[in-house]
Each structure stands twice: as C-alpha cells, then as structure tokens.
A and B are shown apart, each in its own frame.
Chain A
Amino acid sequence: MTSLDIDPLLADAKVIVCCGSGGVGKTTTAAALALHAAERGRRTVVLTIDPARRLAQSMGLVELGNHPSRVPGVAGELDAMMLDMKRTFDEIVLAHSDPGRAEQIFANPFYQSLSSSFAGTQEYMAMEKLGQLAAQRRWDLIVVDTPPTRSALDFLDAPEKLGRFLDGRLLRMLLAPAKAGGKAYLKVMNAGLSVVTRAMTKIIGAQVLTDVQQFVGSLETMFGGFRERADATYRMLATPGTAFLVVAAPEPAALREASFFTERLAAEGMPLAGVVVNRVHRPAARLGVARAVNAAEDLAEVGGHPTIVELLRLHAEQTRLADRDEALVERFTRAHPDVPIRQLPAFAHDVHDLDGLRSIGLELTR
C-alpha cells in the first residue's frame, strides 16, 4: 500500500477537487485541507456545496453570498464560499445578455426548472464557479468540494451532459423543424421528427415545448458559450496543477465508488492524488478479538471484576470493527496497488468548528 503524502500536495497544487459518494465526509475533508494550507501560508479558497449548518457557521458562511468571503479566526488567508447554483446560473445569464432579455429568461418556466432542478445543473455550476475562481487569480490554492451525488462520476459527466443538451442538435431540430424544411433530403428526417414531436408533445405537453422554444430563442447568443466554458474548465482539471482527491469511508458501496472513480480518472488522464478513507476504526489497545473474548469469558466464570469483563468485550467489538475496515480497505488496495491511500480514524465527535478542522488537518498530514 502506498501512503498518500498530503503536505507536498497542499504545498504545490493549484486546485484540489475532493470527490466521492455522499456521506463520506467530503465537505469536512475539503474544509480541513483548505484551512491547513491557509495556515501554512498559502492564499486559499474553499468552494463548498452543502456544508452542515454548524460547520458553515464556524466558517462564517451564514449568508448565501455566492462569492468568497474571509473566514475569521484563521492564522492565514482563507476564503470560503457556498455554491448557490441558481444564482450562479442567473449571473451567467446576466453577464451574457442585456437586462431586458435577462428578465425574459428569468421569467421563463423552463429556465426556472432548469436552473433549480436539472440533475446536472449543480455539477455544471460547481465547475463554472471553479472556472471563475481560477480566472480571478487571487488564490494560490482552490479546494473544491463536489455535489453530493449518488455517483462520484456525475461531477465529471454532468457539465458535458448539460452542455450537450444546451448545444444539442436535437433541441434545435425539435424546436425549429420549419427552418429545415424545403430541402428534399431533410423531408425524410422531418417525417421522423414529426413522430418525435408528436410523441414529445403527448408526454410533456405543448406548453413545455413552447417554453423551451422561447428560452432557446432568448439564449441563442450564449449557447456555444456553455459548451466552451465547460470544456475549458474540464481541460484545466486535466493539467498538472490540479489534483483529485477521492474521499471514501470503509463501506463496500463507498469504496466501490472510489474504485470506479480512480479508474475513470486514469482513463481520462486526470491527475489523481490519492484516496482518503475517513472513519476507519482503530482499537487503542492491542489485545485482539480472541484473547479479549476468552479472557472476558474466564473472568466472568470466576466472578468479580464485572467492569473488566465489559471492557474486554468492548475491546473485542472495537477490534472486530477495525478488522472489518482493514479487510475492506485492503480489498481496494489490492485492486489499486499504485493509488496512494491515507486512512483517518473514526472520531467520536462531529466536527463543527475550526479547531475540529485543524485536528483533522493534523491527522491528514501526520
């Protein structure tokens, strides 16, 4: 097993992307890394997606500003922001159209649905925000937390998906079949398309198509932009200044996701720094399950020392949990022997202040 060395990573990387499936401690890991880097003298910004309330408060993220603000109480320069996907989308629209047209777009029901609930919008906007932060050149290091999706791969795929959708030929053909009319070779296609349009109208209703048509009409000028921007950010992610950090927990599902993601990054030529496995159980004493169980039984038989009997049983349970975690992590490392790994112990407390983040940072870089 290769050990993941975090210190050089925090010293050299320009962008660190923390990804992994939901519920593995991604946000906390991202925040802890950013704080640690800032206190080592790097100007750092952390882009979080959905932090726990108390953690957000401790980082001064009480208002949804959608722009970075300074985190108080840090011995260094740390800015933090929480992504507001709708506002990010609104800002793109405002930046690329005049106020009148922007109002029109904002009022469109389809835009409202797309900007607030399209499954890939959050990922796209996280990517967009990352691009914006990088372009400002204000920070030495940008740490990004990724949206809580069922699959870590969604972060890589969604921008492409939204870009493809907004630039899509199908969208254009469906909405403007009349424009394509007249040419003989297009007639056949149109016949097929009318079946499609008819079916689509049945499924989603004519009103929706009209809303989409209006939306596309008013967005015409910025269409290519979506694709280009997503592509540019994607390319930036593939450069050596970027490091992907896969966050996982010792659970089969989380490690399976980590596995998929490391393979995908390798296939795309994306720079993988390594895997952080959070919440790994470690017994503080070394006695082992069998000896603890046997001793507890013997002692219980003789009578007396009931506390010690319980203490030994507790130790046996802790050790069983640790053995299970170890086996799961080992299965991962055997399949990915070259991927550097760092394991973090399961803390008894939840982390919701800077001191908690600092202790995680220390644990990560120890």
Chain B
Amino acid sequence: MPAAAPPDPAARPPAGAPAAAPRLHVVTGKGGTGKTTVAAALALALATGGRRVLLAEVENRQGIAQLFDTPPLPYEERRVAVAPGHGQVAALAIDAEEALLDYLDMFYNLRRGGQLLKRLGAIDFATTIAPGLRDVLLTGKLKEAVERRTAPKRTGDRVYDAVVLDAPPTGRIARFLNVTAEVGSLARVGPVKAQADSVQRVLHSPTTLVHVVTVLEEMPVQETIDGVVELRAADLPVGHLIVNMKREPYAIPRRLTKTSVTAGLAAAGLATDRELVDGLVEEAAEHATRLTLQEREMRELEELGLPIAALPRLAEPADLGALYRLAELLAEQGLTGGRP
C-alpha cells in the first residue's frame, strides 16, 4: 500500500490571505458510495441563501434526473430544485458530441460541417481515436459554465455562483481532470491543446475543489486513499472527504447478557421468548462489529489530513426530502457557498 502523501501546505492559500471561494466542486467516489446523491445534496447546500448553482453530470447516466424525479435532462440547463432562501439549482447533462458541435460552431463557424460529422459518425470516431478529446470537451463545457457572465459579456454578473459536477469515479478522476496530460501525447499543438491548457488552468486553480465520497468499508476507503494520492500527484486541489451512509452508534455495551435483555424486555412489556432475545443480541453483536470496522476505516481516512464531513445512512429512499436533509448536514459541516 502506498503511504499517503502528507498534506501539502503550498496547495492551500496562506493563512490570513483572503481565500477565493471555490466555485467548481467536483464530486467523485467509488461506484455504489452514493456520489450522485452527495453531489445533488451539495448543490442544494451551496444554493441555500439565494445562490445559483449548476449541477452537472458527464456520463450519460441521467442520475440527476432520476434523483430529482424529472424527465431525462437534455443538453440544456434546466432548473430542477429551489433551495431555502431563494436559491436555485439548475442541472445539465453534458454530452461530448453536443459540446463538440458547440465548440466547432464557436471557434470555426463549422456548425454545418459539424452536423455532417455527426451524421457520418465521425464524432464518435474522433473521440474514439483520441479518448482524451472527450474529457477536454466535457471539462471545457464545465469551465465555460463556471466563467459565464450575464450580458454585457465579461462585465455582467456571474450566471452561476457555483458549479457542482457529479464526476467520473475515483479510479478515473485524476485522469479525467488532468486534461493537458491526457491529450498531450495526441495533440501537441493546435486548438485542442490550447483548449486543454485553458481548462487545465481553471481545474488547478483555487477555484476548484475535488471532494471524494466514500463509505466506511475497506475497499472504498482504500480506493479513496489511492485516489487522493493520485489527485495530489496531479496537483489537483482536494476539498472534503465525504463519508456517506455512516452508521450511528448506539450505546450498547459489548458484553450484553441474555439475562439483562430478558429483564429489559419484560420491563418494556414485551415478550421474552428466546427467539427475540437471541435475535436482538445478534443484532447488537453485528452492530458492534460494524462500528469497530467503521472506526478503523475512519482512522485510515483521517491520516490523509483532509477535512471530513459525514452523512448518515438514511432508511428512507433518496427523494427530494432526503436531499434537503443531507444538504443541511453538509452545510452544518462547512460545505456552504460562503468563504471557507
């Protein structure tokens, strides 16, 4: 196991200096850790108090639409939720093909040529032979949203106070964000290189934070540690570790005797049959095992020296109500739209 790199003090703004509020929040995590749910809750947390937030996804999964219970998202920004205090969350499913057509149109006036490329399947072809190209297009669209201002161009207000990305999983995140390196071997000069460089600058600036979602189990934690090491090596700014689905501890002593359980159940006016007593004792033992495991994994995470936010495991389905609750919990733990 590679040792975790110590936190790099140079990567953070010096104490006392006014820190630029991060505006692009990239949310990654291993599959099954609830990355999309956390990204959506973070968008709501950041929007609370009247801010405008864009929640974007890049993997054609339509996970956001399913969470917010809206029809599939087109390549177009749509409001999906409001946040307390007149905040707004818009959502966008970024599609590489559409982003490329945008790009050709913007830089080369090639909309018609672009349509022809699309019909011929050439775009699929281009992103196939140059896999880095897809990521440049996706991150390029993100950068555009982060920097967009209302008319008159360049002088108006920012359209979004923050952009939250439901990003590719931990295993691919460093590569996804390290766009220059990715296209480096393919496009050494030219427009793609220039585009990649400008995206790279935004992604590596204090404007951007990468948050890693994990659950307190061995494999996801290991993947989180590996991912953070990779992100640091690529000089990408890591924000919070977000522990999802954390079990709440119940104050039950490890040595639980069946006699005391029986007595307690009797006092509560419940049946005291063996099946119930044994079952409850078994549940307590399993809970203790999980807590021990959780604590061990938590210590592993703490060694990374990053701020940690935790969200409980909810027994209710992840609907809008649950998202608001998770958003409140994130805000309470410092993940808000204000300055850190």
- Asked if chains A and B come from one complex, the reply is yes
* Chain A interface residues toward B at CB < 8 A: 21-24, 52-54, 109-110, 112-114, 117-119, 148, 150-151, 165, 168, 170-171, 174, 192, 195-196, 198-200, 202-205, 207-208, 212, 249, 251-254, 256, 283-287, 291, 295-296, 298-299, 302, 304-308, 310-315, 317-318, 320-321, 323-324, 328, 348-350, 352
Closest partner residue, chain A, to B134 (CB atom): A119
Q: How far is the CA of A54 from the CA of B218 in the complex (A)?
A: 10
Q: How far is the CA of A291 from the CA of B289 in the complex (A)?
A: 25
Q: Is the CB of B125 within 8 A of A165?
A: yes
Q: Is the CB of B283 within 8 A of A298?
A: no
Q: Is the CB of A350 within 8 A of B270?
A: no
B208 → chain A closest CB, angstroms: 23
Q: How far is the CA of A310 from the CA of B188 in the complex (A)?
A: 63
Across the interface, A118 reaches (CB within 8 A) one of B108, B131, B169, B283, namely B131
Q: Is the CB of A203 within 8 A of B315?
A: no
Known: A284-B283, A285-B275, A315-B283. A252 touches B317 (CB 8 A): yes
Q: How far is the CA of A302 from the CA of B253 in the complex (A)?
A: 21
Residue among A24, A202, A296, A313 with max Cβ neighbours from chain B (10 Å): A202
Closest partner residue, chain A, to B313 (CB atom): A321
Question: CB-defined interface of B150-193 with A at 8 Å, one 1/0 digit per residue?
Answer: 00000000000000000001010001000000000111111110
Q: Is the CB of A324 within 8 A of B217?
A: no
Q: Is B50 part of the contact surface with A, judged by Cβ < 8 Å? A: no
A to B CB contacts below 8 Å, 28 in the list: A21-B32, A23-B220, A24-B31, A109-B186, A117-B131, A118-B131, A150-B59, A174-B122, A196-B113, A203-B100, A204-B130, A205-B190, A208-B129, A253-B66, A256-B66, A285-B275, A286-B276, A306-B251, A308-B265, A308-B268, A310-B251, A314-B252, A315-B283, A318-B283, A320-B316, A350-B218, A350-B219, A352-B218
Q: Is B85 part of the contact surface with A, judged by Cβ < 8 Å? A: no
Closest partner residue, chain B, to A173 (CB atom): B120
The A contact surface, by secondary structure, is: helix
Q: Is the CB of B131 within 8 A of A113?
A: yes
Q: What chain A residues lie within 8 Å of B104 (beta carbons)?
A: 199, 203
Which of B10-18, B235-243, B256-264, B327-335 is found at the contact surface with chain A?
B256-264
Q: Is the CB of A349 within 8 A of B275?
A: no
Q: Is the CB of B283 within 8 A of A196?
A: no
Q: What chain A residues lie within 8 Å of B222 (beta carbons)?
A: 52-53
Q: Is B198 part of the contact surface with A, judged by Cβ < 8 Å? A: no
Q: Is the CB of A199 within 8 A of B268?
A: no
Q: Is the CB of B250 within 8 A of A118?
A: no
Closest partner residue, chain B, to A322 (CB atom): B315
Q: Is the CB of A113 within 8 A of B130?
A: yes
Nearest first, the 5 A-B pairs at minimum CB distance are A23-B32, A285-B279, A22-B31, A308-B264, A23-B31
A204 → chain B closest CB, angstroms: 5
Closest partner residue, chain B, to A171 (CB atom): B125
Q: What chain B residues lie within 8 Å of A308 (beta carbons)?
A: 260-261, 264-265, 267-268
Closest partner residue, chain A, to B217 (CB atom): A350
Closest partner residue, chain B, to A117 (CB atom): B131
Known: A208-B186, A302-B267, A308-B267. A22 touches B32 (CB 8 A): yes
Q: What chain A residues lie within 8 Å of B283 (beta carbons)?
A: 283-285, 311, 314-315, 318
A356 → chain B closest CB, angstroms: 12
A157 → chain B closest CB, angstroms: 12
Known: A299-B264, A311-B261. A199 touches B129 (CB 8 A): no
Across the interface, B268 reaches (CB within 8 A) one of A23, A198, A305, namely A305
A328 → chain B closest CB, angstroms: 8
Q: How far is the CA of A24 from the CA of B318 in the complex (A)?
A: 18
